[in-house]
């Protein structure tokens, strides 16, 4: 099968869409399929070209057997509505002809959250008379109105019409969460047209390792209890409340908050931490994927933090799966929904109320003062990780493609929802040594 995939994020970018596509596509190639990815020159999230890349009309490279076609776009940082919209529209304008130039694809796949990439995918599929598969990563534009990046109005309604148009025209919609599936079915999409393939982690890359003491020393984290926030610093994450928790924990000098990444809120967070003189907060820029296991090795707990917005009950941040695979307990502070359910069901961490600095600070102290609880959560996280093995999920995605290729179009009448089918069991996580570390809590 030749899979043509349009996405405006791809490595060396390290955000969740880029990582998911790369790890899936690498597995598809390993299984004997041909994969072509149409994307742009890497620049996310700061709108700055990565070293060694140019913003040209058309350039090709090969990564892990994947054919990568990069197109020219209007490059903008991941902040500000107008410039980002121009960025998205420019990808539509250049990715569409690039997709039409690729030889003999069997089907076309495109990924949200920004729907202009998905629109490009549908246009290419329609003109080439190939099945179109929509990978639904986010309920956009609902997610951008939820964080206040765009007001509800004419533009939002137009994007919602585009959203529904693409869902209906797709041969299949592959959603990342059951909540997304339920949302689409509630809005009239036939249930047979929506499947769920969750996020996961590469269990060959992410596994328990001893703490990287040289790295810990360089960041003044030796002997500290490290709370790691690893990911996008965006409007959806309410990270100012995390700084409030850090302020509450000044009296616990052994605690450090480690922020790794970038995003629309990063500069404001750094300025706020400096203004508050928070010596217990450390910021690092985004790191390459190869460096992330060492970063995770420093963390005693992983922090997943979301704004108190009903829409965020439906999302599952991918970092919880990497934390599971590393054996790092998760503190999830967000609306009570899909992520909280996973955390409770797997006992991989603690689910906390959203935007509650007091509850967050108290839970950090609890893990610090109860090392046996932390060990139990770590063991449960490792036990749960094989259920979210990226290789198994990539094979599940291939099943969706085969279905889109060979099934008859689904009629557009409303169907009654049914219980979701759980993903197939993945291969067991390799037996690995327990995580070892020396912290103030255990010394």
Q: Would you tell me the crossing angle of helices 154-169 and 115-128 to the nearest 10 degrees? A: 40
CB 6 within 8 A of CB 124: yes
> In terms of Cα–Cα distance, which of 324, 16, 316 is closest to 177?
316
How many C-beta atoms lie closer than 10 Å to residue 5's C-beta?
25
> Would residue 392 be called left, alpha or beta, if left means φ above 0 and alpha means ψ between -120 and 50 degrees?
alpha
Q: Whole-model pTM?
A: 0.83
User: What distances in angstroms separate CA 347 from CA 225, 270, 332, one per listed residue?
Assistant: 21, 33, 12
CATH 3.40.190.10 fits 2-196, yes or no: no
Give domain limits for the chain.
Answer: 2-196, 213-386
Q: Do 2-196 and 213-386 agree at the fold level?
A: yes
Q: Which residues make Cβ contacts (< 8 Å) with residue 104, sequence separation at least 6? A: 2
List the chain pLDDT tens, one digit each, 443 residues. 999 999 999 999 988 899 999 999 999 999 999 999 999 999 988 889 999 999 999 999 999 999 999 999 999 887 666 788 889 899 999 999 999 999 999 999 999 877 789 999 999 999 999 999 999 987 765 455 544 554 666 766 777 778 888 989 999 999 999 989 998 999 889 999 999 999 999 999 999 999 999 999 999 999 999 999 999 998 889 999 999 999 999 999 999 999 999 988 999 999 999 999 999 999 999 999 999 999 999 999 999 999 999 888 988 999 999 999 999 999 999 999 999 999 999 999 999 999 999 999 999 999 999 999 999 999 999 999 999 999 999 999 999 999 999 876 655 444 333 333 333 344 444 444 444 443 333 32
Please report which helix (H) or strand (E) contains residue 60, including its range: strand 58-63
What is the C-alpha to C-alpha distance for residues 38 and 279, in angstroms, rounded to an integer? 44
Burial-class residue 365 by CB neighbours within 10 Å (0-12, 13-18, 19+): middle
pLDDT of residue 438: 36
User: What distances in angstroms separate CA 307 from CA 237, 259, 301, 333, 342, one per listed residue?
Assistant: 5, 17, 20, 9, 18
Query: Which DSSP letter does residue 146 get?
Result: H
Task: Provide the β-strand partners of residue 301.
Answer: 227
Report domain 213-386's class: alpha beta
pLDDT of residue 162: 80
pLDDT of residue 128: 95
What is the C-alpha to C-alpha distance for residues 195 and 152, in angstroms, rounded to an integer? 29
pLDDT of residue 80: 64
What is the C-alpha to C-alpha distance for residues 166 and 108, in angstroms, rounded to an integer? 13
Please report which helix (H) or strand (E) contains residue 381, including its range: helix 371-384
């Amino acid at each position: 099968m030749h899979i043509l995939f349009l996405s405006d994020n791809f490595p060396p970018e390290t955000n969740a869409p880029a990582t998911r596509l790369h790890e899936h596509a690498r597995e598809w190639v390993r299984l004997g399929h041909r994969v072509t990815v149409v994307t742009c020159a890497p620049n996310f999230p700061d709108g700055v070209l990565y070293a060694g890349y140019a913003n040209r009309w058309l350039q090709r490279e090969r990564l892990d057997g994947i054919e990568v076609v990069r197109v020219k776009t209007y490059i903008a940082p991941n902040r500000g509505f107008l410039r980002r919209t121009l960025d998205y529209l420019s990808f539509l304008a250049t990715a569409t002809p690039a997709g039409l130039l690729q030889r003999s694809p069997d089907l076309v796949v495109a990924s949200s959250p920004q729907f202009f990439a998905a629109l490009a995918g549908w246009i290419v599929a329609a003109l080439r008379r190939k099945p179109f598969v929509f990978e639904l990563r986010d309920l956009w534009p609902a997610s951008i109105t939820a964080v206040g990046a765009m007001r509800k109005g004419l533009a939002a309604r137009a994007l919602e019409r585009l959203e529904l148009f693409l869902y209906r025209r797709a041969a299949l919609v592959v959603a990342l969460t059951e909540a997304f599936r339920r949302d689409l079915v509630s809005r009239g999409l036939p249930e047979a047209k929506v499947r769920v393939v969750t996020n996961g982690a590469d269990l060959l890359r992410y596994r328990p390792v001893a703490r990287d003491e040289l790295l810990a020393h360089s960041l003044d984290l030796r002997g500290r209890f490290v709370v790691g926030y690893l990911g996008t610093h965006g409007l959806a994450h309410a990270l100012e409340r995390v700084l409030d928790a850090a302020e509450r924990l000044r009296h616990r000098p052994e605690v450090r908050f480690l922020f790794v990444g970038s995003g629309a809120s990063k500069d404001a967070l750094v300025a706020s931490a400096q203004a508050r003189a928070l010596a217990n907060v450390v910021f690092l820029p985004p790191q390459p994927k190869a460096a992330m296991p060492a970063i995770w090795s420093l963390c005693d707990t992983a922090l997943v933090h979301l704004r108190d917005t009903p829409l965020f009950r439906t999302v599952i941040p991918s970092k919880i799966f990497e934390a599971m695979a590393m054996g790092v307990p998760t503190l999830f502070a967000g609306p009570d929904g899909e992520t909280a359910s996973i955390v409770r069901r797997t006992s991989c961490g603690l689910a906390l109320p959203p935007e509650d600095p007091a509850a967050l600070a108290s839970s950090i102290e609890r893990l610090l003062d109860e090392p046996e609880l932390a060990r139990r959560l770590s063991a449960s996280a490792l036990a749960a990780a094989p259920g979210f093995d990226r290789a198994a999920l990539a094979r599940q995605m291939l099943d969706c493609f085969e279905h889109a290729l060979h099934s008859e179009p689904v009629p557009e009448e409303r169907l009654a929802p049914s219980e979701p089918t759980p993903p197939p069991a993945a291969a067991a996580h390799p037996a690995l040594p327990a995580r070892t570390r020396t912290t103030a809590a255990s010394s």
